Amino acid sequence: MIAQPANARGTTSDYDLMEKAVAGERLSFDEGLQLLECRDLAALGRAADAVTRRLHPEPYRTYNIDRNINYTNICTAVCDFCAFYRGPKSDEGYVLSIDEILQKIEETVAIGGDQILLQGGLHHEYKLEWYEDMLRAIKDRYPQVNIHGFSPPEIYHFTKMSKLPLETVLSRLRDAGLGSLPGGGAEILVDRVRSAITRGKVMTDDWLNVNRVWHKMGGRSTATMMFGHVETLAERIEHLERLRQLQDETAGFTAFICWTFQPDNTEMADTPTVGSFEYLRTNAVARLYLDNFANIQASWVTQGLKIGQLALLYGANDMGSLMIEENVVAEAGTVHYLTLDDIRSAISELGYQPRQRNVFYELIDREVESITPAGKNGMTPLPILR
């Protein structure tokens, strides 16, 4: 039962909708929007936590260890919200060599990581073969490491650069070693919003279709949302609705992750932004609305330790990644670094066992002690493994 305050005149229907979601009944678009307009953050949190406990009655909450390797920052798309990309003619553009990539993976494996998040800009020169060669080199050296790589905008860009069907591109990348797709580049899955904040980048239907085809091939991916910029509340729900519809069709998303727009050093630096209240409210409503998603990840990378921890009481069942390297959000002026002890303690303080998982939410029974990221692009001292 979602407790209603005695003076909640005119808001009873909000609590009825929360009870509906807690009971496992699907919310409609209008009902989701109504809850996203609800100001009773505590009640939304209680409802989202009740759903999380129903879906995850186990005594643990999870995290993973990976590294975000941005193989290039050169990008043909122009995204007003992005502080990371550089145009093809920029003196600040880079492309990592395969040796540099392998060294980063070696450091990741040494501290217990089992995955890399491999993403980059939409490069103006490279054809599909270049990416296949990179994947094969990684898998030849580190067959045990999952490559969570190439967001839907990148995949769609590969089809245009190589003039190949989407199915062919995904099949060849999978055969070369691609393990799963990250949900990057979703922003808000509404074409009005996408047209307002980006140019030269995949639109809504094609972003979804990359995932659809990948899922039908047996692949898995994550779904994301970056909110708190030019979208309306209704457009946030439309984003969730499009994801829910595709998940009904394919059941291929492993998790949903949302975060707030980080404005510094972007073309949208003067855009009004939202804070932790809006993050927790949106995270909670996502848990209530996405009834066919098993997992919700907290976003401590953008929100910091305490709000990231609080998200575990507002619908999230996963603390996300240790993320021993992160570049994109850091370029936008938001820099939060946690140690592995920080993440494990945040979970323990809430009464749960901290457990390491892989991208498919399978538990990994190895404990890693005292990992401390050294800085934006820094690495950690070698840990004690046991």
What do you get for the CA distance between the two ends of the chain, in Å? 43
Which residues, listed in sequence order, are joined to residue 132 by a DSSP beta bridge? none
Closest by alpha carbon to 347, among 319, 306, 305?
319
Instruction: Report residue 268's pLDDT band, with 50, 70 and 90 as the boundaries.
Output: confident
Instruction: Report residue 84's pLDDT band, with 50, 70 and 90 as the boundaries.
Output: confident
3-state secondary structure of 156: helix
The answer to which of 141-150, 219-228, 268-277 has the lowest mean pLDDT is 268-277
Q: What is the mean pLDDT of residues 287-293?
A: 98
pLDDT at 220 over 90: yes
Q: What is the mean pLDDT of residues 2-11?
A: 48
pLDDT of res. 88: 83
Cα distance between residue 116 and residue 145, in whole Å: 7
Q: What is the mean pLDDT of residues 261-267?
A: 79
Where do the structural domains in the chain lie, given as residue ranges?
A: 42-385
pLDDT at 373 over 70: no
pLDDT of res. 1: 57
pLDDT at 332 over 60: no
pLDDT at 376 over 50: no
User: To the nearest whole number, what is the mean pLDDT of the chain?
Assistant: 88
The answer to which of 4-13, 73-82, 203-212, 224-233 has the lowest mean pLDDT is 4-13
- Asked whether the beta carbons of 224 and 184 are under 8 A apart, the reply is yes
- Asked whether the beta carbons of 262 and 301 are under 8 A apart, the reply is no
Cα distance between residue 17 and residue 317, in whole Å: 22
pLDDT at 229 over 70: yes
pLDDT at 372 over 50: no
Q: Tell me if the domain spanning 42-385 has CATH number 3.30.1390.20.
A: no
Which residues, listed in sequence order, are joined to residue 118 by a DSSP beta bridge? 69, 149
Instruction: Report residue 111's pLDDT band, with 50, 70 and 90 as the boundaries.
Output: confident
Q: What is the mean pLDDT of residues 102-106?
A: 95
| DSSP code string of 330-385 | HHTT------HHHHHHHHHTTT-EEEEB-TT--B----EE-----SSS------EE
